[in-house]
Every structure is written in structure tokens, then in C-alpha cells.
Structure 1
Amino acid sequence: MRAVWQALTRRSGWLGLFGATLLVVLVLLALFGPWLDLPDPTRTNLRARMVGPTITWFSLGAHPLGTDQLGRDILSRIVAGSRVTLMVAGAAVLLGGVLGTLLGLISGYFGGWVDRILMRLVDIQLALPLMLLALMVVAALGPSLRNLIGVLALVSWVRYARIVRGQVLAVREREFVQSARAIGASHSRIILRHILPNVLTPALVVATLELARVIVLEAGLSFLGLGIQPPDPSWGRMLADGRTYISSAWWIITFPGLALMLTVLAVNLLGDWLRDFFDPRLAVR
């Protein structure tokens, strides 16, 4: 606890706490959104289309953040979109992290031709623009929630693999690993019992930073019409729908953009703090 408090007293620590608070608020909204007294995010009402925000100092109107071109409530769509965004991004980061960590363990531990093949695959994928690769895969398989999670995991595993491989190369030469090998421990036991616990921390930091990138990538695919499909709300899709009305109904695109910006900012601040906490040499004092 003392180390945590010392880390929080740094400037990056307070920023990390701010990011964690924003992220907790977003998660709570996503979890308890269905129980809030908000309009149906998919219900249209052409009589109330493009109603401006009705926020005053004393009360909130029927549509605090306004409505879109089909009369749907912006606030309820943002809350519902947060649930979709966190579910997709969380699942993609989990799948990508498991795959990348596993391949990084195998590559760093066994070395040789296995390491060369896996690292060349990493180099090839890193040479391809992520958005282009994601567009190609989604266009080939078709837009769906399952395909979206799969393609986001596919483009995110390489960073885990490279970081974990570098950690494994250092850990496998340490005394406790050599001792386990000397007493005849199997490869799987050495990897799972002795090496994996020592590489989980860097992988966790990468997962936190990768979450922000996956959220932006999901919003980009939804913006292009290859992500979350209507009528399900998505921040990227809301941005795409609102760009036509940016001069006449600014709130349609502004509030989803702010939600996306604050979410990515919160995740990045938390990830930077975790990186500084686990590696004090990088901390800003």
C-alpha cells in the first residue's frame, strides 16, 4: 500500500487516478444503463427530431443532450453505445492478449526456427496499416459482432507477442529457471510456473494501453459502416450519422465525440500510471 500511495503522489499518479475514476463511471453507466430512466435508444420520433440540448441550471429536460435526425435520444444512445464499446473492446483485448502472450511465450522460450517464423509474422502484420487490414478482413467476412471482435483481436496480438518474447528471453536465463530445468521439469511446467508469472505484469500494462487503441479502431470501423450495425447504437456510427448535420445540429456529433475522447483519455492515463508504477524508472516525478 505504501508503494501505491507513493506512486499516486506523483503527478502521473493523480492523472492515473483521474483516468481510473472516469473509467469506473463509464463502466457503471454501461452496467446499470438499462435500469436508468432513459428513453429507448432505438425508438424513433420524427416529431422530436433534432431537438437541441435542454440543460439548464435548475433541471434537465426530456432530452438533456438533444435528439438526432430520427428523434432518438442522444444521452440514451451514448449510454447504450458505451455498453457495446466496452464489451467489444474488452473481448478483443482479452482474446488478443491471450493469443499474443501464448505466442510470445513459445517464441521466447524455444527460440530457433519457431522464434524466427513467429517474429516474421509479427513484422509482416506490423508493416500493414491496421485500419486497412481490419477493413479487408471485415469486408471479406461480413460485418457482425463476432467478426468485429475477431478482427480487433487479430490486429492487437502482435504487441503482446513482442513484449512477452523480450521478457521471456531475459527470464529464461535466470537461476530459478535453470534450476527447474536441471531437476527435469517439463517445458510446460517451466513456462506456466516459472516464466508466465514474471511476464504477466508487462502484458497487463500493454493490455491497458491497447484497450484505448482498440476502442478507437472499433469506432473507426463503425464510422465506415463495417462495425456495429443499426439499430444497435455505436459511438462511431453516431459520429457518421451526425457529420451531415454538423452545421445545423452540432450536438449529434459533439457529445458522442466527447464520450469517445474522454474514454480513450481515461484508459491512456490509467495505462501510463500502471507503466510508471511497475517501472519506476519511467515515472515523471
Structure 2
Amino acid sequence: MKPFLSALLRSRAGLFGFVLVMLFVAGAILAPYLGLASPIRSSLTSRMVAPTWTGLFSPGAHPLGTDELGRDILSRILYGSRTTLLIAAGAVILGGAVGTLLGIVAGYYRGIVDRILMRVVDIQLALPLMLLALLVVAAVGASTQNLVIVLALTSWLRYARIIRGQVLALREREFILSAHAIGAGTWRIMIKHLLPNVMTPVLVIATLELARIIIMDAALSFLGLGVQPPSPSWGRMLADGRVYITTAWWIVTFPGLAILLTVLSVNLLGDWLRDYFDPKLRTAR
């Protein structure tokens, strides 16, 4: 743990990404305890109030302004981050679990199993993933559970392909051959010996996939196929506020910045993790 933290502290980009990610996670967790205005309560007397830092800690303060219905922008961004991060994390975990398992199975068994699974991956990769997500959400309906499943459906492919390559290299290593020699079962070898040795690439892929899924979730919400009102979501905030961009710029600017900074921080952290776990890249730097 100590070498990991020291390497992180030496990387400005990695540290910046890590700090921003932690801030967004903390904001999402602590949102109900910060004394903010309700993210769904409208106030027509407070419509499109401009951002102001005067009386920041007073009960009626709106540091990031209000939207066209008088709802507090800061509160909606923080509560929206809870939904966004929950969906993205759920999709990453589900997609990662399915993709890693199928990648291990394909790489270990090879032959017909490998060919079938990889052709499924090729076919799905040939389809525009955003279009696939739109079609599935339109068919099954927009809910948190459905979004997690749909976004995981677009995510498992990358895990499967990369983990398969890792397993093809690992299966000829001495410790795997030794496990075979002492009579270890197939699933025992895959779970006990192969899985721990592919967790590093899984972690790196998961971090980079998290950023992509956050963007896809925002895009679906923008098109009205994400989390439905009155629950706040960043993409929906952009969609609702785009008609006021010339008269109330803050309605779309701050949710847009939230998406930008979240994706940027996750990508920076993912790039640093890739460099840290790859000895060749670490040596080059």
C-alpha cells in the first residue's frame, strides 16, 4: 500500500484524478446531510436565480443558482451524482464480472468455446453500442435496474477480449501446469489461479469503462431514456436547460462541468493505474 500511495503522490495527473473522484464520491454520499434545498421542490418565485455566494450558508442560498422551475442547481447536481455513480458502478461491476468470467472460460478452454464467444464479441462490437443501448432501453423501459443491465451489456466485451488474451498467456505457465499435474479441477484452476492473476487489467479496464458509462448514462438521460423525473440526473438537467442557455447559462453549464470533471478525473486515474501496473510504461516514465 505504501509504494502505491507514494507513486500516486508523485503523479500530478493521477493525484488530481484521485482527489476529484473522491470529492464526487463524498458529495454523492453526503448530499442528504449537507442541509441543501430539496432537489425536486419547485419554487416559481425563485425561477432562474443567478449564482451568488452572498449568504452562502443561509437556508435559502443558491450558490449555483436555480433552474427554470426554481430548483436548486447545486442540490440537483449532488443528488444527480448519486444516481449517476450508482448506475455507473453497478454497470461496471456487472459487466466486469460477466466479461472476466467469459474471458477466462474462452482463454482456458480455447477451441469451439473460444471461437463462439469471440464471434459474439465481434458481432456486438460491430454494432454501435449507443444505438444498441437506445433500442434496449426503449424496449424494456427506463429504470435504474434496466439502465445498469443495459450499460453492462455494452461493457462486458472489452473485459472478455482482454482477459482472454491474458489467460492464453497464463495457461502455459508453470504454476498452471503444476496445478494440472496434482489433479486440480478446471474451475479451481480458473478461480484460484487464473482469476487473481488477471485482476490488475480488470481494475484498469473498470476504471476506464466507468468514464465511458457515465457519458452513456448522461446521453440516455439527455434523450429522455435515463432516470425519469422527478429524480435528478445530469443528462436530464442539460436537456431541460438547453433552451435557456442564452438567458440562464448556469442551468446547463454546471451540470456540464460536473460530467466533464467526473469523466476527466476517472480517465486520469485510469491512465495512471495503467501506467503503474505496467512495468514497461513505469520504466519508460
Q: Aligned equivalents of 2:280 and 2:241: distance in 1?
A: 44
Q: Which runs of 5+ in 2 are unaligned?
A: none
Q: Aligned equivalents of 1:280 and 1:181: distance in 2?
A: 29
Match of 2:14 among 16, 23, 27: 16
The number of residues matched between the two structures is 282
8 Å contact kept, 1:38–1:76: yes
Is 1:51 equivalent to 2:59 in the alignment? no
Quick one: which amino acid aligns to residue 43 of structure 1? R
Q: Give the Å deviation of 1:4.
A: 2.7
Stretches (4+) displaced over 4 A: 58-61
- Partner residue, 2:62: 63
Trace 1:88-237 onto structure 2 (pairs within 5 A).
88-237=87-236
8 Å contact kept, 1:51–1:67: yes
Q: Give the Å deviation of 1:2.
A: 6.1
Q: Aligned equivalents of 2:91 and 2:2: distance in 1?
A: 34
Normalized against structure 1, the TM-score is what?
A: 0.95
- Partner residue, 2:7: 7
Q: Give the Å deviation of 1:46.
A: 0.8
Quick one: which amino acid aligns to residue 108 of structure 1? G
Give per-residue Cα distances to partners, 1:95-145, cap 9 Å, x unaligned.
000000000010000000000000001011111111100001001111111
Is 1:81 equivalent to 2:77 in the alignment? no
Quick one: which amino acid aligns to residue 42 of structure 1? I
8 Å contact kept, 1:54–1:60: no
Q: Aligned equivalents of 2:5 and 2:256: distance in 1?
A: 33
Q: Give the Å deviation of 1:73.
A: 0.4
Quick one: which amino acid aligns to residue 8 of structure 1? L
- Partner residue, 1:28: 26
Calculate the aligned-residue CA RMSD, in Å: 1.4
Identity %: 66
Q: Aligned equivalents of 2:147 and 2:27: distance in 1?
A: 23
Which stretch shows the higher mean deviation, 152-161 or 140-149? 140-149
Normalized against structure 2, the TM-score is what?
A: 0.95
Quick one: which amino acid aligns to residue 101 of structure 1? T
